[in-house]
Amino acid sequence: MAMDTRLEPHIETAPPDQAVAVRQLTKIYRGSGKAGPKQALKAIDLEIPRGSLFGLLGPNGAGKSTLINILAGLVTKTSGTASIWGFDIDRRPRQARAAIGVVPQELNIDPFFTPKELLELQAGLYGVPKRERITADLLDVVGLSDKAGAYARTLSGGMRRRLMVAKAMVHSPPVLVLDEPTAGVDVELRQQLWEQVRTLNRAGTTILLTTHYLEEAQELCDRIAIINHGRVIACETKRELLSRLDCKTLTFELAAPLNAVPEALAGFHAELPEPSRLQIHYRPSQMPLGDIMHAMNGMGVEIVDLSTEETDLEDIFLQLTRSDRQDAD
């Protein structure tokens, strides 16, 4: 769906290279009694380039929500600096908050307002003049134009989540935070939300996405940071991150079954999960694919089909968080 140009971020100053910049950001919750203080963020540095679709991943309790709430002005940091669209959250809090929209996990929508009324009310809270409001355009982008006059209580859970996205965009912020936007929705709706996220990003909005669905980050994001125990343990492009695990698997479907792995493959990490299926695990940096194919051709077996399995983001995530947990111990 083409987006109305009025949905592009409203930017009055020259855009910065970094939509969000965090330096040595620390947050300590003082706690009470036996619990004592808890350091939720440990002097983290993070940069989110302008125009990126940036993924922030981490297990529960890693510090993701604390970081987002500091950027949104809901939690006070202990030390360090943070800026949104070039505006320091301490020195220019009003401008910083105007530059960011946050879609929380919770569906906090008044059930007795219509989508149109909710967006108009939210725009008024942000001080957007009536002549500059883009309520109709937002409802169109999130696919709720036909529900503009329906009470919010009649909307499905997926529709309410889309309405939350529109609500966060009423002031045309250049930075949009989506906190677990597809939690609890079905596959079809997830695909629809993904396309809406891409549409917003193509129009110039910088997206910060937190998600527990690793395939979601792999599908959408161009840069990804992984946070664990309050520290950023990785922050790279998706391509760089996926290249960390130098491991692939080739699966050969054979015309005739085998009783055992042939001796010709003794030097390879080969196995037979099924008599007619042969798998070879290899490191591309150490073993050219041509060597494997040459060995297979020398065996004289008939290959019916060939597939390859790449490293995915889940492998990287588990490896990094597991090693970080061991370091912490």
CATH code for the domain in which residue 206 is found: 3.40.50.300
Q: Are residue 80 and residue 133 in the same domain, yes or no?
A: yes
pLDDT in tens, 152-189: 999 988 888 889 989 999 999 999 999 988 877 778 77
Domains of the chain: total: 2
pLDDT in tens, 275-323: 999 999 887 777 788 888 888 888 888 899 998 876 667 777 777 777 6
Per-residue model confidence (pLDDT) at position 168: 93
Task: Give the structural domain span for 277.
Answer: 248-310
The CATH number linked to 272 is: 3.30.70
329 within some domain: no
Q: Are residue 100 and residue 237 in the same domain, yes or no?
A: yes
In single-letter form, the type of residue at position 268 comes to F
| Inter-residue contact 138 to 128 (CB < 8 Å) | no
Q: Are residue 194 and residue 229 in the same domain, yes or no?
A: yes
Calculate ∠ Cα 133-138-143, nearest 5°.
Answer: 155
Q: Are residue 255 and residue 201 in the same domain, yes or no?
A: no
Per-residue model confidence (pLDDT) at position 58: 87
Confidence of residue 9 (pLDDT cuts 50, 70, 90): low
Confidence of residue 328 (pLDDT cuts 50, 70, 90): low
Cβ-Cβ contacts under 8 Å for 14 (sequence gap 6 or more): none
328 within some domain: no
Measured distance CA(152)–CA(159) in Å, rounded: 9
Q: Which of 116, 160, 158 is CA-nearest to residue 140?
A: 116
For residue 326, is pLDDT > 60?
A: no
Q: Which of 260, 297, 298 is CA-nearest to residue 278?
A: 260
Q: Are residue 194 and residue 279 in the same domain, yes or no?
A: no
Higher pLDDT, 245 or 115: 115
219 within some domain: yes
pLDDT in tens, 32-83: 666 678 899 999 999 999 999 999 998 888 899 999 999 999 999 999 999 9
Domain end, chosen from 226, 242, 258, is at: 242
| Inter-residue contact 261 to 316 (CB < 8 Å) | no
Per-residue model confidence (pLDDT) at position 97: 92
In single-letter form, the type of residue at position 154 comes to T
238 within some domain: yes
Measured distance CA(205)–CA(188) in Å, rounded: 24
315 within some domain: no
Q: Are residue 179 and residue 295 in the same domain, yes or no?
A: no
In single-letter form, the type of residue at position 105 comes to Q
Lowest pLDDT segment from 82-86, 179-183, 251-255, 270-274: 179-183
pLDDT in tens, 194-219: 888 898 899 899 999 998 778 888 88
Per-residue model confidence (pLDDT) at position 84: 97
Per-residue model confidence (pLDDT) at position 4: 44
Q: Are residue 103 and residue 169 in the same domain, yes or no?
A: yes
| Dihedral of the alpha carbons of 168, 171, 172, 176, in degrees to the nearest 10 | -30
For residue 3, is pLDDT > 50?
A: no
- Residue in the block written with tokens 């492998």: 315
Most confident of 10-19, 116-125, 156-165, 291-300: 116-125
- Residue in the block written with tokens 């990785």: 234
Q: Are residue 73 and residue 146 in the same domain, yes or no?
A: yes
Per-residue model confidence (pLDDT) at position 2: 39
Per-residue model confidence (pLDDT) at position 13: 61
**CA count, 13 A, side-chain hemisphere, 302:** 4
- Residue in the block written with tokens 């399995």: 309
